[in-house]
């Protein structure tokens, strides 16, 4: 190589002398003398060339390089199988690149330009061979793939170890590139290629980039690593699905795909993509632009696959039952946004980074849309058949359990609604509660009996308050809201008692009857009142025994209130009745119930059962 370097130097000096003195032989001789005095290597003997053509030194250099390079280019054996061969080949390529660079300023000479064209052809052949060697090193280096972590022993290659082993054994001959294992611990380093291989790839990349073949080098690198990523995604259980295919799938299948997507996205953003970023930086060390381009080409397909699935969820149905899985997707992207920012930080990945942010925001819009659909569901729930016995309405149970479950993600929902300056999560919850109460009031009008209407509202109001208490929903609605609705339940209680038992209680009033009424008129009045009391009491008990009060405490409170209202009045009435001398000789024959009997009857109230009016859940 030193000989080629000296020849090149002498050729350049000869060219300068000829160019400056091409019209004056004396000047040319003077220039040659100056060179000779300056450096002994420029002696007249060496500077005098038998071949007067300007391109002769270049031809001589190219002939030597062609001889050295062609033996490697034409070889059927891998050059990098022998370190001596690879070093010699790289030295020859370096010499060729340097020769082209040094002679390019003299390309105006036709003969030199023709030589440079042949040099470019030789360079291209060299680059093609380097490309092959690069690909071969990538594929061979992948055979030594490892997961370096203290917990490696606990990791399984697939969810089903047996199936995974069978697949591996069946495809062992055709599967050239290994894949990452699905894991739960993200503190893992993937040594995708051995350090020796990475160093060799870097040496090749240096030459290809210097020769202007950086894109070709990036393409070879990307095609190999992209296959690795795609296979890894497949092993993580993630299918390649278009947005249209996701939207046509049954929701149960989509839920399963979301679970796999969450797992795959975490592994990709926290293990696979950072490992690829690190490998790109090592292979293309010193060439950041090539490293960035290669990384983008490697990860773009897998990233788009992940983002397209999330986008399909974001633009899909706004059905309320989808909220919780949409939250899973939203939270996954939110939690991984720092990883997106860190891994896709270069200019080539700007579109991927922006797309991730856009889809994340779109998922937030989807969540707000789901709550709007919940509002519509409440509004549209028809007031058709009444719930038997004034029990708990299904819409009440559904909405309250739904909101309690949603409030387990209060922090996320607050973040979602903060993006909408016109609302907040607490305002949203209060509005839904207002819609539910309005809907229940409409449904209560179905009952012809005002007392049953009050029982219905009391049941549903009590259930609502209980579901709000002691959880995040209560914190959002606030103590004032809870106090206000407890007062509403008490008002429904009062309305029930007034519309139902005040009529029964009114019969027992004896304020206008003398303490010891005499005469037939007084006795008849007492008898009529007692008879009317029994009629009202029996009818009310018979009717209300089938009514429902789901909450045991509320049921006892109602019975106690009725007992306190009726028993003292009934006891006083019976005493006066028995003490009336004009009633009959045996007034006890007219007394149907003792005080204890009345109390026992009251205790049998609200024993109704039924699917729709069933217990609290």
Residue 320 has a CB neighbour count (10 Å cut-off) of 20
How many domains is the chain built from? 3
- Position with higher pLDDT, 512 vs 105: 105
Mean pLDDT of 54-67: 79
Instruction: Kindly state whether residues 482 and 516 are assigned to the same domain.
Output: no
- Position with higher pLDDT, 166 vs 63: 63
- Position with higher pLDDT, 44 vs 349: 349
Q: 120 in a domain, yes or no?
A: no
Q: Which of 480, 497, 514 is the last residue of a domain?
A: 497
The pLDDT > 90 percentage for the chain reads 54
Least confident of 169-173, 450-454, 455-459: 169-173
Its domain, for residue 480, covers 389-497
- State pLDDT tens for residues 4-38: 555 556 566 556 655 554 455 455 556 555 655 56
Instruction: Kindly state whether residues 233 and 341 are assigned to the same domain.
Output: yes
C-alpha neighbours within 13 Å on the C-beta side of residue 186? 15
Average pLDDT, the chain: 83
Instruction: Kindly state whether residues 340 and 443 are assigned to the same domain.
Output: no
Residue 305 has a CB neighbour count (10 Å cut-off) of 20
Note the pLDDT of residue 15: 60
How far is 55 from 495, CA to CA, in rounded Å?
113
How far is 268 from 276, CA to CA, in rounded Å?
10
Q: 238 in a domain, yes or no?
A: yes
Measured CA to CA in angstroms, residue 520 lies from 512, 581, 598 at distances of 16, 10, 28
| Full-model pTM | 0.77
Residue 586 confidence class, pLDDT cut points 50, 70, 90: low
Phi and psi angles of residue 148, each rounded to the nearest 5 degrees, phi first: -100, 100
Q: 311 in a domain, yes or no?
A: yes
Asked whether residue 516 carries a pLDDT value surpassing 70, the answer given is no
- State pLDDT tens for residues 284-299: 999 999 999 999 999 9
Mean pLDDT of 192-203: 91
Instruction: Kindly state whether residues 573 and 454 are assigned to the same domain.
Output: no
Instruction: Kindly state whether residues 369 and 404 are assigned to the same domain.
Output: no
Q: Which of 497, 531, 554 is the last residue of a domain?
A: 497
Q: 585 in a domain, yes or no?
A: yes
- State pLDDT tens for residues 232-268: 889 988 888 999 999 999 999 999 999 999 999 999 9
Asked whether residue 508 carries a pLDDT value surpassing 90, the answer given is no
Q: 231 in a domain, yes or no?
A: yes
Task: Write the secondary structure of 145-210 as one string of H (helix), E (strand) and C (coil).
Answer: CEEECCCHHHCCCCCCHHHHHHHHHHCCCCCCCCCCCCCCCCCCEEECCCHHHHHHHHHHHHHHHH
How far is 39 from 49, CA to CA, in rounded Å?
17
Mean pLDDT of 459-481: 93
Instruction: Kindly state whether residues 522 and 483 are assigned to the same domain.
Output: no
The pLDDT > 70 percentage for the chain reads 78
Q: 280 in a domain, yes or no?
A: yes
Instruction: Kindly state whether residues 567 and 430 are assigned to the same domain.
Output: no
Note the pLDDT of residue 305: 95
Name the residue among 190, 356, 347 with its Cα closest to residue 274: 190
How far is 492 from 499, CA to CA, in rounded Å?
10
Name the residue among 383, 333, 382 with its Cα closest to residue 359: 333
Residue 170 confidence class, pLDDT cut points 50, 70, 90: very low
Mean pLDDT of 583-606: 82
Q: 73 in a domain, yes or no?
A: no
Mean pLDDT of 169-183: 46
Instruction: Kindly state whether residues 271 and 418 are assigned to the same domain.
Output: no
Residue 373 confidence class, pLDDT cut points 50, 70, 90: very high
User: The domain spanning residue 570 has which CATH number?
Assistant: 1.20.1280.170
Asked whether residue 607 carries a pLDDT value surpassing 60, the answer given is yes
- Position with higher pLDDT, 555 vs 56: 555
- State pLDDT tens for residues 425-440: 999 999 999 999 999 9
Instruction: Kindly state whether residues 504 and 489 are assigned to the same domain.
Output: no
Residue 557 confidence class, pLDDT cut points 50, 70, 90: very high
Q: 424 in a domain, yes or no?
A: yes
Least confident of 63-77, 218-232, 529-543, 585-599: 585-599
Least confident of 18-32, 304-318, 392-406, 591-605: 18-32
Note the pLDDT of residue 470: 77
- Positions of E strands within 66-150: 146-148
Phi and psi angles of residue 123, each rounded to the nearest 5 degrees, phi first: -65, -40
Rg (CA), the chain: 46
How far is 96 from 80, CA to CA, in rounded Å?
19
Note the pLDDT of residue 44: 47
Asked if 504 contacts 565 with a C-beta cutoff of 8 angstroms, the reply is no
Note the pLDDT of residue 150: 35
How far is 394 from 387, CA to CA, in rounded Å?
9
């Amino acid at each position: 190589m030193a000989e080629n370097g000296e020849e090149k130097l002498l050729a350049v000096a000869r060219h300068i002398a000829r160019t400056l003195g091409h019209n004056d032989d004396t000047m040319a001789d003077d220039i040659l003398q100056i060179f000779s005095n300056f450096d002994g290597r420029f002696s007249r003997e060496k500077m005098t060339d038998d071949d007067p053509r300007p391109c002769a030194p270049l031809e001589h250099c190219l002939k030597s390089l062609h001889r050295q390079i062609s033996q490697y280019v034409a070889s059927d054996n891998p050059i990098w199988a022998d370190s001596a061969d690879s070093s010699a080949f790289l030295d020859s390529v370096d010499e060729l690149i340097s020769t082209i660079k040094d002679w390019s300023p003299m390309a105006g000479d036709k003969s030199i330009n023709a030589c440079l064209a042949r040099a470019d052809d030789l360079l291209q052949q060299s680059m093609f061979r380097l490309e092959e060697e690069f690909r071969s090193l990538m594929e061979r280096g992948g055979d030594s793939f490892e997961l370096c972590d203290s917990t490696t022993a606990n990791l399984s290659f697939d969810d089903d170890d047996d199936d995974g082993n069978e697949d591996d054994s069946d495809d062992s001959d055709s599967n050239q590139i290994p894949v990452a294992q699905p894991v739960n611990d993200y503190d893992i380093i993937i040594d995708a290629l051995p350090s020796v291989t990475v160093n060799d790839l870097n040496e090749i990349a240096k030459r290809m980039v210097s020769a202007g073949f950086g894109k070709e080098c990036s393409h070879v690198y990307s095609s190999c690593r992209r296959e690795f990523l795609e296979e890894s995604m497949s092993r993580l259980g993630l299918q390649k699905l278009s947005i249209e295919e996701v939207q046509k799938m049954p929701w149960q299948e989509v839920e399963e795909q979301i679970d796999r997507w969450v797992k795959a996205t975490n592994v990709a953003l926290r293990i696979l993509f950072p490992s690829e970023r690190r490998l790109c930086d090592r292979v293309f060390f010193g060439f950041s632009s090539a490293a960035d381009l290669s990384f983008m080409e490697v990860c773009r397909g897998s990233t788009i696959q992940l983002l397209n699935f999330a986008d399909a969820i974001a633009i899909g149905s706004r059905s309320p039952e989808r909220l919780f899985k949409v939250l899973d997707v939203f939270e996954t992207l939110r939690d991984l946004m720092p990883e997106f920012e860190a891994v896709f930080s270069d200019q080539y990945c700007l579109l991927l980074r922006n797309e991730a942010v856009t889809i994340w925001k779109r998922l937030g819009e989807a969540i707000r849309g789901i709550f709007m659909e919940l509002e519509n569901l409440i509004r549209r729930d028809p007031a058709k058949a009444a719930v038997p016995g004034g029990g708990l309405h299904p819409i009440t149970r559904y909405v309250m359990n739904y909101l309690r479950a949603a409030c387990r993600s209060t922090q996320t929902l607050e973040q979602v609604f903060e993006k909408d300056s016109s609302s907040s999560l607490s305002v949203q919850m209060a509005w839904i509660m207002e819609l539910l109460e309005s809907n229940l009031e409409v449904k209560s009008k179905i009952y012809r009996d005002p007392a049953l209407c009050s029982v219905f509202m009391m049941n549903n109001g009590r259930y609502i308050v209980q579901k709000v208490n002691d959880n995040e929903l209560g914190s959002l609605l606030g103590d004032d809201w809870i106090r206000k609705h407890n007062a509403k339940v008490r008002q429904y209680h009062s309305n029930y008692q007034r519309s139902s038992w005040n009529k029964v209680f009114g019969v027992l009033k004896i304020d206008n009857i003398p303490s010891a009424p005499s005469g037939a008129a007084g006795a008849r009045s007492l008898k009529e009142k007692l008879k009317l009391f029994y009629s009202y009491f029996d009818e009310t008990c018979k009717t209300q025994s089938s009514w429902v009060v789901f909450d045991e405490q509320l049921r006892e409170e109602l019975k106690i209130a009725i007992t306190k209202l009726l028993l003292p009045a009934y006891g006083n009435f019976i005493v006066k009745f028995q003490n009336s001398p004009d009633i009959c000789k045996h007034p006890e024959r007219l007394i149907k119930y003792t005080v204890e009997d009345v109390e026992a009857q009251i205790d049998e109230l609200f024993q109704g059962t039924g699917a729709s009016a069933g217990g609290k859940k």
